Amino acid sequence: MLVVTEHEQLRSLLKQTLSRLGIQGTQLAADGEEAKNLLAKHPFDLVVIDFYLPKLSGIELLRYLREESESVQAKVLIMTSEGSRKLLNEMVKLGVNGFLVKPFTAKMFAQKIAQVVRMEGLTKGELLAPAAAVAEERAPSLAKSEKPTILLVDDAASNIKLIGNILKEEFNIRATNEGSKVLRVVATPPTPDLILLDVMMPNMSGFELCKRLKANEEWAAIPVIFLTSRTSSADIAQGLEIGAADYIPKPVSPVVLKARVRNQLRISRAHEDRREQLDMLLENARLKGDMAYVTEANPNPLLKDALRALIDLTPDSAVGIVEQSIFQLVDMTLRTIDLYKLEQGKIPLQRERIDLKRVVQHTLRFVERQFESKALRFEFKVADGSDYTMSCDRQLLYGMIMNLLRNAAQAAPDSTRVSLQLQGTEQQLELKIDNQGAIPAALHKRLFERSQGGRTESHPKLGCYLIRQIATLLRGEVQFEIRDAIATTFTLSLPRH
């Protein structure tokens, strides 16, 4: 095992983490030339390389390793925050086995090492022998993954039983005998990892069903294998052209079926992992650039210090600062959203169970401190003992609540009251925010429109536009009303599920 990074503390930390995993005898190098000399003298099973290195860059070292060293078959993990798709693709072509996106924690490093080590060619090596037990003890989901789920689609119950018996020891089996039901089955968790599909079925043929699956962005990546007695060259070509991963004729050999299923699952996982890694790298680079821009352009010294801390500090030492600074970064959450994707509803959501009451309480405490000089009186009315949990994207939810509260505090005259009321039904939750100070009549019709003018003196129009777009993305809505020409009430409604 070889770890290459110029940062002495990081080298020490990674070596300690590897030792805890049971991987001993790790060699360390501080620059590309030192690593090259070690690679010339010793074969390694696994090499971890920092992308930015003195004397010889990470990509140059990777090229040397693959083309000239004794460790040409080694697994290679690149640590990077680089977001250039050209460079990432070049590393993929050179045979990198995985990326670890900076910043990362020791746990994330251990998980990525376990993932790379499990890959073909290294799982039986000496390196993993001591690590396997430790990895299973510390992270069972990494050492022993859950069975993949296979969906069998065949109109003959006897075929489903036969194929199911062949695969059931290795895979979780779901089945249906009607093509028209498949889309509903796929939409119901757990999503299948692979679909075995007959061609000749009533109501909807396998070919038509495959077309519909591949046309759906959410399901297009699920590999489909045709398992059928239609074996003409024209049928096979048609199946492959519409997106099938493989085509297996009946009657099938159990050994061949298992091998082809395993092969397609392995390919699918590799593609999915690579896509996720590339997306994470590109997003990491974009956000890092946004943060660097704000630290230079934003005149608020507190925000600049918080952002610098998030960029420069190691994850372990930054945890407390992240918690204290998170609300200072909410504006950036909205600034860095891709407006086109948001308007098209294509922002991916990270849904989790969230207590809306706690979100409001946390956000309200920060806003109270931020607007302390205005001597505002904040009141939060909520029924004790009621359930205010919901399934939602935490980051987007905090962004909306934060901006709604800040808008109310900005618009409210000094020493007045800002009232919040949270209530819910079985299907949805509703938050009302009321403040003194009415929105000018000229803005009523344009408040939620996309504006190139940025913020007005008291109401950030672009912020309101984003709030409504995010609410729509979350299947909710936001409205406002003017009360007695002297006060404004915003109402945010969101579904629980």
Provide the pLDDT confidence category of residue 336 given band limits of 50, 70 and 90. Answer: low
> What pLDDT shows up at residue 103?
67
> What pLDDT shows up at residue 458?
34
DSSP string, 408-457: HHHHSPTT-EEEEEEEE-SSEEEEEEEEESPPPGGGTTTTTS--TT-B-S
Fold classified for 149-272: Rossmann fold (3.40.50)
Give, in order, the Cα–Cα distances in Å from 102 to each of 25, 269, 426. 25, 22, 42
Provide the pLDDT confidence category of residue 263 given band limits of 50, 70 and 90. Answer: very high
> What pLDDT shows up at residue 22?
76
Geometric angle at alpha carbon 180, from 178 and 186, rounded to 5°: 90
List, in order, residues 6 or more apart from 183 with CB less than 8 Å away: 209, 212, 213
User: What are 267-277's pLDDT values in tens digits?
Assistant: 888 777 666 55
Evaluate if residue 240 carries a pLDDT over 70: yes
- For the chain, where do the domains classified as CATH 3.30.565.10 start and end? 339-495
190 DSSP assignment: S
Provide the pLDDT confidence category of residue 318 given band limits of 50, 70 and 90. Answer: very low
Helices (H), 144-253: 157-167, 182-187, 206-215, 233-241
Higher pLDDT, 472 or 345: 472
Provide the pLDDT confidence category of residue 345 given band limits of 50, 70 and 90. Answer: confident
> What pLDDT shows up at residue 159?
93
Evaluate if residue 110 carries a pLDDT over 50: yes
Least confident of 1-5, 119-123, 278-282, 288-292: 119-123
User: What are 6-18's pLDDT values in tens digits?
Assistant: 888 788 878 888 8
The torsion angles phi and psi of 225, rounded to 5 degrees, stand at: -115, 125
d(CA 264, CA 413): 64
> What pLDDT shows up at residue 433?
96
Evaluate if residue 485 carries a pLDDT over 80: yes
User: What are 131-145's pLDDT values in tens digits?
Assistant: 333 333 333 333 334
Please state which CATH class domain 2-143 belongs to: alpha beta
Closest CA to 282 of 54, 89, 45, 85: 85
Evaluate if residue 443 carries a pLDDT over 50: yes
Closest CA to 290 of 279, 298, 301, 302: 298
Least confident of 82-91, 235-244, 331-340, 348-357: 331-340
Evaluate if residue 313 carries a pLDDT over 50: no
Compute the average pLDDT of residues 372-392.
Answer: 89
Evaluate if residue 279 carries a pLDDT over 80: no
Provide the pLDDT confidence category of residue 245 given band limits of 50, 70 and 90. Answer: very high
Higher pLDDT, 163 or 324: 163
Average pLDDT, the chain: 78
Evaluate if residue 285 carries a pLDDT over 80: no
Helix or strand run (H / E) with residue 471: helix 461-473
Helices (H), 42-156: 58-67, 85-93, 106-117, 128-138, 140-143
- For the chain, where do the domains classified as CATH 3.40.50.2300 start and end? 2-143, 149-272
Evaluate if residue 175 carries a pLDDT over 80: yes
d(CA 489, CA 423): 15
User: What are 410-440's pLDDT values in tens digits?
Assistant: 899 999 999 999 999 989 999 999 999 888 8
Global pTM value: 0.38
Fold classified for 339-495: Heat Shock Protein 90 (3.30.565)
Compute the average pLDDT of residues 211-225.
Answer: 89
Percent of the chain clearing pLDDT 70 (strictly above): 76
> What pLDDT shows up at residue 235?
92
The torsion angles phi and psi of 121, rounded to 5 degrees, stand at: 100, -20
User: Contact at 8 Å (CB) between 427 and 486?
Assistant: no
User: Contact at 8 Å (CB) between 248 and 231?
Assistant: no
Residue 385 Ramachandran class (φ > 0 left, ψ -120 to 50 alpha, else beta): left
> What pLDDT shows up at residue 157?
92
Higher pLDDT, 388 or 317: 388
Higher pLDDT, 418 or 462: 418
